[in-house]
Amino acid sequence: MSFRITLFITICITWMHCKNDTSSTQMADTVHSADVAEATFKKNCSSCHGDDGNVFVDRKWKHGNAKDSIIQSISNGYLALGMPAWGSVLKADEINNLSDYLLGAIENRKKFDFTDSVKSNIFQHASMTVKLDTIAKGLSNPWGMAFLPNGDFLYNDRNGNMYRQSKGVQNLIKGVPQTRVEGQGGLLDVELHPNFATNSLIYFTYAKSKDSLSTTALMCAKLVGNTLTNQKDIYVAEPWKTTRIHYGSRIAFDKDGYLFLSSSDRFQHMDTLPQKLDNDLGKVHRMNDDGSAPKDNPFVNTPGARATIWSYGHRNIQGLFYDAATGILWANEHGPRGGDELNIIQKGKNYGWPVISYGINYDGKIMTPYTSKEGMEQPLIKWVPSIAPSGMTIVTGDKYPAWKGDILLGSLRFKYLDRVHLTGDVPGDQEPLLKNVGRLRFVKMGPDGYIYVGVEDPGFIFRLVPSEPLAQ
């Protein structure tokens, strides 16, 4: 090899090393600037806006969210609105880095602004393609669904109507109790007794009314044809409240026939009811099929405690699923803004609300300065921004091989079905499915091996059928 060729190769290698070193340095500088900016936000902004910029930016911007506008807001403030000027406190490069940090958080938020328009009933995803078959339409807010042994569907509309659908014919169920259909109240979840084939018993939750007050109630009834008989409230949450939101509620039976029920905080977090054991609010309850408390419940011998409490410190559980294969009880719940969670519900555990939370109030104010505390559980997933998770299931069978063993849950806010990959009991990557399908209230695995979802306003129930991808 000639001296000139050797020299040329040496120069090229040296240049490549220098270029790589420069790129690595620039990348390290970028990461360092982001870390410094995040630290600046936590030090100077967290007392008013929380310590997570990703939560803070999930808002309507009064003065614009372009970089120049953000820099001006930070530098000059808006004193009349309570925003001080930081131009004399922070250096120009600190304000610049802080604005870049917020812009990055804004871009992260935009990934949920799905631009996909629903053009057909076929949805293509990276994992697999599915076709939506319409099972029911003309509903308002389909909230819960169960599958009868003979192939009929049983489902609740939050407007107070329960239906039995047989061979495509929708039949209104008689004997449903008077329900307070107001705010988030109405006719909610429904499940069959594990021995329905022999006893015909169903369980459903609804908003029960008394004068100006209401509460979450669980009724057991016998389904005879299209009529409910032997109706009995086996659980009525105490105390009753004047609020019309945060009723919960989801029902799940385990393999031993115990019934789990979520009861939400009724938006009464200021008096810390979810942390107290002398009431039913903000809890997961475990009971026998007649509503009585099993003798091995964690607080059954605690003076003053409600005997059916299984776990506490919850805000608004909207998804509850018992995995018979693993014995795990999964739950998702609505936090405040930026505080939605996925949890495994365990006996006697405290899930923290309202003492700890990763979210802030809807008006942007701090609800609690704590995100962790000894003796309180941490979520497996915290959604930022809040997706408003709803009904959930785990995919079983062989019809959806790419999704088998994964969690599916609805997003009310962003109108999609969220797939959470599971490795054992550890959640991993997420994939948005059925983008812009509608406010997705429930998702269920049917005994036929198909996935069923319910969407709201207008209300439909769809069956997901694996399909071939559309031709390009």
Question: Which residue type, as a one-letter code, is found at position 354?
Answer: P
CA–CA gap between residue 174 and residue 228 (Å, rounded): 6
Closest by alpha carbon to 63, among 34, 83, 43? 83
With both helix axes pointing from N to C terminus, report the angle between 92-110 and 67-76 in degrees, rounded to the nearest 10: 130
CA–CA gap between residue 306 and residue 308 (Å, rounded): 6
**Burial of 105 per CB tally in 10 Å (0-12, 13-18, 19+):** buried
What angle (nearest 5°) sits at the alpha carbon of residue 142, between those of residues 244 and 180? 30
Name the E strands within 42-106. none
Question: What letters, b where the CB count within 10 A reaches 16 and e where it falls short, cover 330-353?
Answer: bbbbbbbbbbbbbbbbeeebbbbb
| DSSP classification of residue 174 | B
Closest by alpha carbon to 158, among 183, 191, 185? 185
CA 155 from centre of chain: 21
CA 397 from centre of chain: 24
Kindly give, in sequence order, each residue whose CB lies less than 8 Å from that of residue 257, ignoring residues fewer than 6 positions away: 194, 195, 289
Question: What letters, b where the CB count within 10 A reaches 16 and e where it falls short, cover 225-245?
Answer: eeebeeeeebbebeebbeebe
Find out whether 352 and 313 touch, Cβ atoms under 8 Å: yes
Number of Cβ within 10 Å of residue 453's Cβ equals 28
Task: Exactly one of 49, 193, 246, 269 is catalytic; name it.
Answer: 246
Kindly give, in sequence order, each residue whose CB lies less than 8 Å from that of residue 457, ignoring residues fewer than 6 positions away: 140, 141, 438, 439
CA atoms within 13 A on the CB side of 413: 17
Annotation marks residue 246 as catalytic: yes
Q: In what order do the strands lie in the sheet with 381-383?
A: 317-323, 328-333, 340-344, 381-383
Residue labelled with tokens 């939101």: 245
Positions annotated as catalytic residues are 246
